[in-house]
């Protein structure tokens, strides 16, 4: 029997194995290292915040890491170096391999609005996990920028005297604390949405573990 050619409305999806892994090995390793670093930094950061809160709430001790302020600071610094080194390697490999431009661009307001509307109607295709829609591209670019803000504001909190120019640019030590806090909150929100999307499209988790 002759195979029916794919129509424009229903393009044939290429076999997954014929196109190599969805995510290369280096990316999968860095993804999980980054996830570990974020968990360490967020939970230890909550304990640090609890020692000197600037809002009328604190985080439950059971959700924090470190046990006390000194322990939390040690965990936070460990997570900081893991996040910084892993993040620089991630950006470097994405730039040198050209993956950054292939995966995350182009992105624009019209494309984001179109794909967001399709997602809200449940009509956004996930047939090819190698292809990011423009909402995903914007989200990943946002989280890269957000982590950059976290690192810069964290440097002010860690070495305020040494990074006095950066401290001034961020509005002073106390304002840098608030920038750091809200950048953390945005990162946690991204992770929450990311986990929801993984639950809706489980194959994305399999691809990040197995590569395909």
Question: What is the band of 149 on the pLDDT scale with cuts at 50, 70, 90?
Answer: very high
Whether the predicted pLDDT of 13 surpasses 70: no
pLDDT the model gives residue 19: 61
Question: What is the band of 121 on the pLDDT scale with cuts at 50, 70, 90?
Answer: confident
Q: 106 preceded by cis ω (within 30°)? A: yes
CB distance 11 to 42 below 8 Å: no
Q: What is the pLDDT of residues 162-187, one digit of tens each?
A: 999 999 999 999 999 999 999 999 99
Q: What is the pLDDT of residues 59-74, one digit of tens each?
A: 999 999 999 999 999 9
Whether the predicted pLDDT of 8 surpasses 80: no
CB distance 204 to 21 below 8 Å: no
Using only C-alpha atoms, the chain has a radius of gyration, in whole angstroms, of 20
Q: What is the pLDDT of residues 62-119, one digit of tens each?
A: 999 999 999 999 999 999 999 999 999 999 999 999 999 999 999 999 999 998 898 8
Query: Which sign does the torsion angle of CA 19, 115, 140, 186 carry?
Result: negative
Question: What is the band of 21 on the pLDDT scale with cuts at 50, 70, 90?
Answer: confident
Structure tokens at 104: 């995350």
Tell me how crowded residue 155 is: count the other CB atoms within 10 A of its CB. Answer: 19
pLDDT the model gives residue 178: 96
Mean pLDDT within 16-35: 82
Residues 6+ apart with CB under 8 A from 208: 23, 28, 31, 32
CB distance 143 to 188 below 8 Å: no
Residue 23 CA: distances (Å) to CA of 17, 26, 49, 131, 190: 12, 8, 36, 11, 20
pLDDT the model gives residue 127: 64
Question: Helices in the chain by DSSP H: which ranges?
Answer: 25-51, 69-97, 99-104, 109-120, 134-158, 164-169, 173-200, 203-210
Q: What is the pLDDT of residues 40-59, one digit of tens each?
A: 999 999 999 999 999 999 99
């Amino acid at each position: 029997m002759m195979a029916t050619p794919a129509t424009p409305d229903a393009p044939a999806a290429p076999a997954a194995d014929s196109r190599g892994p969805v995510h290369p090995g280096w990316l999968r390793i860095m993804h999980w290292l980054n996830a570990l670093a974020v968990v360490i930094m967020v939970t230890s950061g909550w304990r640090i915040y609890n020692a000197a809160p600037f809002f009328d709430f604190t985080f439950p001790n059971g959700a924090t890491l470190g046990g006390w302020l000194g322990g939390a600071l040690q965990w936070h610094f460990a997570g900081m170096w893991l996040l910084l080194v892993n993040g620089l390697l991630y950006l470097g490999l994405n730039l040198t391999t050209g993956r950054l431009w292939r995966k995350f661009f182009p992105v624009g307001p019209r494309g984001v609005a179109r794909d967001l509307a399709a997602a809200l109607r449940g009509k956004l295709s996930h047939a090819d996990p190698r292809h990011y829609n423009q909402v995903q591209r914007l989200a990943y670019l946002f989280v890269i920028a957000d982590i950059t803000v976290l690192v810069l504001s964290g440097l002010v909190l860690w070495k305020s005297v040494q990074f006095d120019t950066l401290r001034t640019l961020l509005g002073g030590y106390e304002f840098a604390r608030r920038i750091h806090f809200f950048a953390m909150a945005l990162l946690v929100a991204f992770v929450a949405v990311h986990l929801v999307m993984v639950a809706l499209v489980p194959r994305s988790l399999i691809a990040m573990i197995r590569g395909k």
